[in-house]
Structure 1
């Protein structure tokens, strides 16, 4: 069975903390996501447990009458345990050095393995068409597993929301929606 996996970066949110909610614009975007997917057969929806990710997919889950499965492995990648004034430079380094780890954080390799464990499970599980809702950095790491040219610069160009379609059996990776 050829499976399709849609990776969605959450809609615009009030902040970065786990309880940050969508902005008014983000709520409108969540409705647009619902309309975008309404004609597609969707078998499963898995999401980061962060509030902004859940809110991004709730309208579609309700319309499709699908349970929204929360999976902590889809949480955003933790760059560091402490705020970093130069976080963007430090993040960029983790794309060229996948083993680089900052105090209290996880390397690109570890974060990618965490995300790909979810991806592999849905490929082995029920359903043909699956949606994974996550965050920008983790999304870029997943896409990068299928397209090695996808790195820091591509991460910077991601929008909220953003949608990639991956067909693993044929190694197809395509951006099908982004708000540039």
Structure 2
């Protein structure tokens, strides 16, 4: 039975307000979310699931509303916790850290989690989604690192190099036959 998962990486988000959980979208991020709605509205998506982070939910919110659906929020789909207390890290600090973490999967900063721990959390959750929503089309509001870890579980080409080429937002349509990944298509074009 075919199941389709639409990985929707969140749009551009300001790193100057709130914390990792509460920062929303920039004006460009909100504009891109409207484009996502237009791109995916005819896909007839059955269910919408999101990370609890505001920017991920906001990116798929209009799409879910246009389909008359609620967003199911799963704490387990939160972004990789890079450092404690939901602190925002500047990109100039974050990108070298992400490279180190992918190269050393058990490494973590104080209060953060390792790639290995995060991968176990998100892959277990993703596999549960595949079982629970078997035969359906599901959009997942997500983040770059966790999206890469979930996709990489099924196909090793989705690794650090892949992550570094993704955009905010980004969309990948994954086709599964039961729990076997058959095909992945990028739907977002910058």
Correspondence 1:45 to 2:52: no
Q: TM-score, normalised by structure 1?
A: 0.90
1:4/1:128 contact within 8 Å kept: yes
1:79-118 alignment to 2 at 5 Å? 79-81=82-84, 86-118=93-125
* TM-superposed deviation, 1:34: 0.6
2:50/2:77 contact within 8 Å kept: yes
1:159/1:179 contact within 8 Å kept: no
CA distance in 2, matches of 1:11, 1:86: 20
Deviations 1:82-130 (A, max 9, x none): 7587442232122122222232111112111211122111111145111
Structure 1: stretches of 5+ with no match in the other structure: none
CA distance in 2, matches of 1:40, 1:177: 12
Moved runs in structure 1, 4+ residues, more than 3 A? Answer: 82-87
| Secondary structure of the structure 2 residue equivalent to 1:38 | helix
1:143/1:173 contact within 8 Å kept: no
CA distance in 2, matches of 1:122, 1:166: 13
CA distance in 1, matches of 2:103, 2:157: 11
Structure 2 CA distance for partners of 1:104 and 1:119, relative to 1, 3 Å: same
2:187 paired residue number: 177
Q: Among residues 25, 28, 31, which one is paired with 1:28 in the alignment?
A: 31
2:61 paired residue number: 58
Correspondence 1:132 to 2:140: yes
Structure 2 CA distance for partners of 1:166 and 1:68, relative to 1, 3 Å: same
2:9 paired residue number: 9
| Secondary structure of the structure 1 residue equivalent to 2:184 | strand
2:176 paired residue number: 168
Structure 2: stretches of 5+ with no match in the other structure: none
How many residue pairs match? The answer is: 180
Q: CA RMSD in A?
A: 2.0
